Amino acid sequence: MSDLIDARGLSCPQPVLITLEKLKSLDQGELVVLLDTDTSKENVIRAASSLGWQVKDVAATGVEYRLILEKA
């Protein structure tokens, strides 16, 4: 079961800050992030790649996104 962050309803930079904190604590593995704006999606992807995490999957439902981040 992967860890999950629900950052829907939060405005930037909150989704990024929460994701960065979680990624640092996990160090590796898989993290699911739920978002509801294009810009928070872009920024969270940037934040993840700055720490060496990859985007495994992006699923869009309407205006919501489900990102799966992973680091081996």
Partner 1 sequence: MKTLPIQSHPDLLVGMETADDAGVFRLTPEIALIQTLDFFTPIVNDPFTFGQIAAANALSDVYAMGGRPLTAMNIVCYPSRTVPREVLQAILAGGLDKIHEAGALLLGGHSVDDTELKYGLSVTGVVHPERVLTNAGAQAGDILILTKPLGTGIIATAMKGRLATPAAAAAAAQVMTTLNRLPPECLEGRGVHAVTDITGFGLFGHALEMAMGSRVKFTIYAHKVPVLTAAREYAAMGLVPAGSLANRNYCSKSLLLASELDPVLVNIFSDAQTNGGLLLAVAPAQAALVLEQLHNAEINAATVIGEVRGTGTGQILVKS
Footprint of partner 1 (CB under 8 A):
11-13, 16-17, 20, 39, 42-47, 50
Is it true that the peptide bond before 13 is cis, omega within 30 degrees of 0?
yes
Work out how close the CB of 71 gets to partner 1 at its nearest, in angstroms, rounded to a whole number: 15
Strand partners, 66: 34, 59
15: nearest Cα among 33, 30, 29: 33
The residues with which 33 forms a beta bridge, in sequence order, are 5, 67
Q: Looking at beta carbons only, is 5 or 45 nearer to partner 1?
A: 45
| Residue closer to partner 1, measured from CB, 42 or 57 | 42
- Closest approach, Cβ 45 to partner 1, in A, equals 7
